[in-house]
Homo-oligomer: A and B are copies of this chain.
Amino acid sequence: MIVLKNVHEMKEFIKESKSKGKKIGFVPTMGFLHEGHLALVDRAKPENDLVVMSIFVNPLQFGPNEDFERYPRDEEHDYKLAKDTGVDVLFIPGVDDIYPKALSIHMTVKERVNVLCGKKREGHFDGVVTVLTKLFHIIEPDAAYFGLKDAQQVAVVEGLVEDFFFPIEIVRVPTVREREGLAKSSRNVYLSDQERIEAPVIYHSLTNAANSLCNNKGDIKSVLQELRQCIELNTSGIVEYVDAYTFPSLTLPKQIKGEILIAVAVQFKQARLIDNIIVDLG
C-alpha cells in the first residue's frame, strides 16, 4: 500500500495511473476506520484497478459547536486496516494541503439539507461538498463509494455530481449490520447492555415499515406513526425523528412511488443512533 501525504504527489500519481488506463475507485473517509468503511473498500476492490482511500478530517464540515479537534484519530490502526482490506493508495493530506488559503469561491447546498440530521447541522454539507469537489479533482476517480448509513450524505453527493456533471459514478453501499440487524456504528459501544438488547428493534421496525409501504398496508403517515410507536414501546430510547422523504431529492413524498427513504434517529442515554431504509416503489 502506498501512502501519499500531499496534493501534488497524489495528483502526479493519478496522472501516471490514468495514462496507463487504470480504473480508479475512491473511498473518502475521515479515518478512525470501522467495518462500514471496509465494506466500501470491499465493494470498490473488484470494480476498479486501483482503490484510493483518503483520510482527512475536514474542518469545514464541523459546526462551531462540533469539536473538530476532538474528532477521534488513530492513524496507525487505520493504516493497518486499510492495508489488510486491500487499499492500494492511502491519501492522508494535511489541513494546509487541502486548504492552503481562504477559498475565493464558496459552495452552498440549497436543497436536501434542511431535513433529517442536516436540520441541526447548518453549513455541514457545504463543507462536505467543498472537500469532495477538491478530492474528486485530485483523485479523478471513475467511481466513488458512500455508505447508505448516512443516506442524507449520499443524497447531497448525488446532487453535487448531478448538478455539476462530475464524470464520476456514485456507488451507494448498503449499511453494514450486526447479526441482529443493528447498524454498525462506532457509537454502539456507548450503549448499555440493556440498550444493546433493545437497539435491533430500530431496524426491525424499519423493515416492517418498508414492508407495509410495499404492500400498500397504509399511507405514509400511519406507517411512520406505527414505526415511531414500535421503537418507543420496545426501547428506552427517545425518538428524535421518524421521517420519510423521496430519495435522493429528499422532498416530502406526494405519492407512494419511486424511491422512499424512511429514516430515524433515536437518542439513548450515551449514544444517538441513526438508521434508515430505502424502499423502491417503482
Contact residues of A with B, CB < 8 Å?
7, 11, 14-15, 19, 21, 102-112, 129, 133-134, 137-138, 140, 156, 159-160, 162-167
Q: A169 to nearest B CB, angstroms?
A: 12
A108 touching B110, Cβ below 8 Å: no
Query: Which 7 interchain pairs have the tightest Cβ spacing?
Result: A104-B111, A104-B159, A137-B165, A106-B108, A133-B164, A134-B165, A103-B163
B160 touching A105, Cβ below 8 Å: yes
Q: A7-B165, A137-B166 are in contact. Are A159 and B105 (CB under 8 A)?
A: yes
Q: Which residues of B contact A103 (CB under 8 A)?
A: 110, 163
**Cα–Cα, bound, A38→B50 (Å):** 40
Copies of this polypeptide in the complex: 2
**Cα–Cα, bound, A57→B19 (Å):** 34
Q: Which residues of B contact A21 (CB under 8 A)?
A: 19
- Of B15, B106, B159, the residue contacting A107 (CB under 8 A) is B106
Q: Which residues of B contact A165 (CB under 8 A)?
A: 7, 11, 134, 137-138
Q: Which residues of B contact A167 (CB under 8 A)?
A: 11, 14-15, 137-138, 140
Most buried by B among A14, A19, A107, A164: A164
